[in-house]
Structure 1
């Protein structure tokens, strides 16, 4: 039996169970990464915000309690796609290449998981915002990165296009061709649902990126469920909208006979740039971009028939683990000379992992600041050291009476010290434009 894996981005992981490894065919894989979706924005993690479709995934699958992204959007995307940490791929800051005039992610130096899966026989597609290349200057970038089909946009790049220029909010690039779209997010949603139906009889991979609070809502709001606008701010409305789009995908999978063949992973992708509230009603910090709170994201996996519903996992996972997990589930090896920093958690998903082989630390980075954590403690290169069980917001120094802390600090510091220096610029230079 073939299984369809849907990863919704917080970035992600899920286990297929023993049936996958025995399958004669590789699983389908969908990775959905939702920028700005934090744990305190999802009701199954304790938020007041109602997210029924995301909650459905948790009720029918696994909710991961400790998953880390990077603190910014584009470093997270590059880590998801390459399986490498920022110090290796060099994308240590949040960069939009269209705004900053760089060519984009170098597909020769940093081959993506999409390319490896395509080379392994998968049909591949990407939908949603794409900020890793200037597609006007590199029109074949998505194909080079491994995607057969695409429905994408880059707001900054479309605003720079000349002449004539349609309103940027009403444009998408469908397989490289610019087209009008009343609402880009709905367009990408429909495009990817159609892709799953057209390719249901062969293995496929979908990379689905979504953004909160960044898209026009006037036309879309008329199509969504009626909400009491006086009780919902823009961020809450955006979460509701994202949840409904996810519901569209779930229903399409279930209604087309793919429910028990489908693994759905929903992952958040760093904390939103808005004040939110934790379960204890305390306002979350927004001034410390490199902290556990900023990168501790939701990760939910649904695998009907393979994973018991409402399961909670406390495994440590970071986004570099996605690439090797996908390859193991697809029974593929990394390409030659490709270095992966992540560790596959496929055995954990199958329920066959040796507990002594689990990860005991995870990593994140922004700029020159790096941090790692284990199940209890966090350390970073600025000298901060915290007990996250006692101090989740990292507001207090550890008590000198804590007899366990010094040994933990030394162990984590040794791990942090062994990482290499930051790589050089990751960008492929854009070709010169001829007048």
Structure 2
């Protein structure tokens, strides 16, 4: 098959799939609209409902009116997470084993490859209007853009993130409407603009009387730290107490909220004494701007929900919210203190604040410990979730989104497209978990990124950093991965390692660094 990658949109090859659907296909009036809101580099504890001091009333309300999943696994990096979300596959299997670079190896192409079918490609054949705004980052060039991979409408950035105010500083990130490059107007801020266009897309979909699938992939709160002055002002002085005080306050709030069990041990701090920080005002300011970016993200979730209410769509729309990975330890600082947060700012919040963001877990983005992998998942659907306000600690994985969306839409996964086979799905629907059913999930789950590796099955997790020894944890007893049991359970370690090695072979995982 040539590198057109199953370009299914409008393709007559898929029309036949409509006739092959099972009897579980629902009528258009019954099928919910589906919205996935995706944050970028947001840490585990950065929402109010997860223990944060950051003002997130709209997302907190979604959690109260829906379900909060505290153990939703992503991959540990943005491109692989986006690939797994869109396809229901492990990222290596569909060409996204690393980032958006083409190393001309099957698992490292930097775009979705042959055999991958996306959620919008399948839902479009089921009569859904398919819409996207935001950051794509799983295929920078045509024919690998959202409009080539199932989205009928697209507004945003095909390449990576790092864009808030316009024009971006030091980055080439053109903005497109469908396939046409546009020039943002004065006052453009990506978080606001992505929401505004999403609302416009929803209004058109309603007029067409079709259910819709909307994927809005925000760039926030990924660095560089840039926010509106009025949002930053809301957090003036909020972080003057320093890393440890904020982290401990979040940990205590998490326990009170039921996000953590009362006996969970907080992982050791990965920062020094605040009193020894060379420039505490600058460090506090970093977190003030980061908080402002999360705050603005929450404001836009509120705008989107208000639009659904105004259009009469809120009752039968399921809204998901999650992040692509844990907090980022990047310590980038290319901006004078006076400019921090401005349109010219190019600063990250650094490892210490990322440790706070990932409370109570260890380590960060790009690593396979829980701090790099876990995100809260919020799901709100008044017509379908009958016991709102529940918190579930059962694990699920980002590869499960494909099966879940098809379950919601009553659509069937294709076995082939014309003469071309489609990779069989590896995820499973977590819709039963959202409805309060217990998950009897004994499958192993796998991760690899830049030589960092992990496998989890049941409560057992085997994990390692690149070029370091494997460590074994019982997450039921030790959720923060503090007590390595590798010397005590050699048979368990061998079994998990064997499963990981088989998965790595099947998915084309290469030793890091990958030769190219």
CA contact (8 A) 1:316 1:375 kept: no
1:236 to 285, 291, 300: 291
CA contact (8 A) 1:42 1:51 kept: yes
Aligned partners of 2:356, 2:490: CA distance in 1, in Å? 29
2:180 to 167, 177, 187: 177
Q: Could you say which residue in structure 2 is the equivalent of 1:349?
A: 434
Are residues 1:330 and 2:409 paired? yes
Q: Deviations over 1:181-217 (max 9, x none)?
A: 2223222111111111211221111111112344777
Aligned partners of 1:170, 1:342: CA distance in 2, in Å? 32
Distance 1:358 1:217, change over 3 A: closer
Bigger fraction of residues in strand = 1
1:383 to 451, 470, 476: 470
Three-state SS of the structure 2 residue aligned to 1:110 is coil
Distance 1:420 1:171, change over 3 A: closer
Distance 1:288 1:387, change over 3 A: farther
1:115 to 121, 138, 153: 121
2:328 to 267, 270, 273: 273
Aligned partners of 1:217, 1:420: CA distance in 2, in Å? 36
Consecutive unaligned residues in structure 1, runs of 5 or more: 1-20, 160-164, 426-435
Distance 1:394 1:413, change over 3 A: same
CA contact (8 A) 2:96 2:110 kept: no
Q: Could you say which residue in structure 1 is the equivalent of 2:336?
A: none
Q: Could you say which residue in structure 1 is the equivalent of 2:311?
A: 256
Deviates more, 1:386-395 or 1:265-274: 386-395
Aligned partners of 1:244, 1:117: CA distance in 2, in Å? 29
CA contact (8 A) 2:321 2:379 kept: yes
Distance 1:283 1:89, change over 3 A: closer
Three-state SS of the structure 2 residue aligned to 1:304 is coil
Are residues 1:75 and 2:80 paired? yes
Q: Point out the structure with max Rg over C-alpha.
A: 2
Distance 1:191 1:423, change over 3 A: same
Aligned partners of 1:375, 1:244: CA distance in 2, in Å? 37
Aligned partners of 1:369, 1:167: CA distance in 2, in Å? 30
1:247 to 302, 305, 312: 302
Trace 1:149-188 onto structure 2 (pairs within 5 A): 149-154=153-158, 171-181=174-184, 182-188=188-194
Trace 1:13-52 onto structure 2 (pairs within 5 A): 23-25=26-28, 26-52=31-57
Three-state SS of the structure 1 residue aligned to 2:127 is coil
Q: Could you say which residue in structure 1 is the equivalent of 2:68?
A: 63
Trace 1:61-140 onto structure 2 (pairs within 5 A): 61-95=66-100, 104-106=110-112, 108-135=114-141, 138=142
1:320 to 395, 399, 403: 399
Aligned partners of 1:223, 1:283: CA distance in 2, in Å? 31
Distance 1:356 1:325, change over 3 A: closer
* Larger RCO, structures 1/2 (Cα 8 Å, 6+ apart): 1
Deviates more, 1:342-351 or 1:185-194: 342-351
CA RMSD of aligned residues (A): 3.5
Distance 1:224 1:237, change over 3 A: closer
